[in-house]
Amino acid sequence: MKKPKIALTVAGTDPTGGAGVMADLKSFHACGVYGMAAITSIVAQNTKGVQHIHNLDPEWLSEQLESIYDDEQPQALKTGMIASKDMMERIQVYIKQHPEKPYVIDPVMLAKSGDSLMEDVGKQHLQSILLPYATVATPNIPEAEEITGIKINDESSIYQAGNIFIKEIGSKGVVIKGGHSADLTESKDYLFTQDDVFTFTEPRFETKHTHGTGCTFSAVITAELAKGKSIYDAVKKAKKFISLSIEYTPEIGYGRGPVNHFAYMKKVGLDDE
């Protein structure tokens, strides 16, 4: 039997399974990749919002990462919710030790409910500690505004923000996601690389069930990079994957429900590449 590719997620939890490491592991599985996870924070949340956050001692994070890397080398790494500067620095150690491994950062700052998931001091250091090492960063519009310091309200400002990520911060690639745009008919994402700019467009669906979209999208990119795919191909699949996930939501919970992490696998399958 052929040994599977491995993707590692470093993020917080969601006991209802819609976001965080739970969503990441489902997405890895749906892409045919073996998933590993290291926990940064234990989050009491559901489709209605975040009730409590317990950030783990950073030393616990280091112990988890040491256990993983002492035994197996993931082909790609993704980070999601990282609460503090100390945690960022501990993750950075492993990124720098394995510069050949793709690194995807979902700069999670707010839950869908609007609850803050990152300390203010963490926001200040994200740009210098982790983003310069990113193979792909996946901010939504509010996150891109927070990181770049510019107001994004049209395509011109999206290009301005993308250039800041690539030329000033040093990320190899960034996807500025269009889910928060004013366009009510389609969702358009912009991929900036060091060489080019690409756009990916899918229909926008009338649903409130979008919990975990950012986690899922970035996890699929991570899985595809772990399989050796290019940034372009990884983002292209992730865009289709998340579109189907939103179109066929499982309608779980009384608030903003999760997306369907297995819709792509059922509709397209694993033999699409």
- Least confident residue range of 8-17, 129-138, 145-154: 145-154
- Residue 105: name the closest of 58, 169, 182 by CA: 169
- For the chain, domains (ranges, CATH) are 6-267 (3.40.1190.20)
**Rounded distance, CA 248 to CA 250, Å?**
6
**Amino acid in position 269:** G
pLDDT category of residue 2 using cuts at 50, 70 and 90? confident
List, by residue number, the catalytic residues: 177, 210, 212-215
Q: If you average pLDDT over residues 53-75, what whole number do you get?
A: 97
pLDDT at 75: 98
pLDDT category of residue 108 using cuts at 50, 70 and 90? confident
